[in-house]
Amino acid sequence: MNLIITTEILDLLRYRASYGDAQLCDHIKNTGNNSMYTSPKIQNELIDLCREYIQDKLIYRIKKANIYTVLADEARYISEIEQFSLCIRYTDEDLMILREDFLMFVSITDFSGAGIANVSKQAVISLGLDLNLMRGPGYVGASAMSGEFQGVQAHINNEYPLALYTHCTSHCLNLSLNDDSKVMFVRNTFGSLKECCNYFRISSVRSDILKEQL
């Protein structure tokens, strides 16, 4: 993860220092420029350490759950870099709830089903997770991901038979809503709901009345 410090981050530091963090305030006011720890390099290191700490905590929970699901979706970053987001769905054994946690972005150059499958496997292995414990990986319906013979799910399932492909439920919902919006009655219903929302949103008095009634 290569992040560059921005003026917004420095502004947040100054804001926190001016509203009660005496130790940070003293550091900003009295520390020399050679030991401020606000350079882009140092900030990137601090951010990366935070990333590692959070990621390690999540991986500990996932391993404790034993089995897990991989949720992956390809996207193009603003800098034109192709990548996919890797999320893990699992059961939190302590709270007994289902969780879906984002773990990392993975850059890709081979957009074939086999290429994306190999990158996906390497990403999961790099996190210290056992691929034999993966169940029901979820991808979108694009042929490169869901193809029965050459898609990502086919390559994964051939090697790990218990990892049966599941079409991403969020993507299914999005496709369903997109198709439904073509029906005149559904489209009119959404239009009426939007007008109702706008009716209350443009008036703080109406909003307050609505909140009281709710």
What's this model's pTM, rounded to 2 decimal places?
0.67
pLDDT of amino acid 49? 92
Sheet bearing 82-92, strands edge to edge = 97-107, 82-92, 69-76, 138-139, 166-167
pLDDT of amino acid 4? 47
Q: Is 196 in a helix, a strand, or coil?
A: helix
DSSP state of 35: G
Confidence of residue 1 (pLDDT cuts 50, 70, 90): very low
More confident residue, 76 or 68: 68
The mean pLDDT of 171-198, rounded to a whole number, is 87
Q: What is the architecture of the domain spanning 64-172?
A: 2-Layer Sandwich (3.30)
Spell out a b/e string for 145-156, using b for 16 or more CB atoms within 10 Å of the CB, else e: bbbeeebbbbbb
Query: What is the residue extent of each domain of the chain?
Result: 64-172, 182-213
Element (H, E) at 136: none
The mean pLDDT of 44-63, rounded to a whole number, is 92
Q: Which amino acid is at 204?
A: S
pLDDT at 79 over 70: no
CA distances from 31 to 14, 23, 24, 26, 37 (A): 14, 11, 10, 8, 10
pLDDT at 5 over 60: no
pLDDT at 167 over 60: yes
The mean pLDDT of 55-73, rounded to a whole number, is 92
- Residues 6 or more apart whose CB falls under 8 angstroms from that of 196 comprise none
Confidence of residue 80 (pLDDT cuts 50, 70, 90): low
Closest CA to 165 of 132, 136, 199, 142: 136
pLDDT at 64 over 90: yes
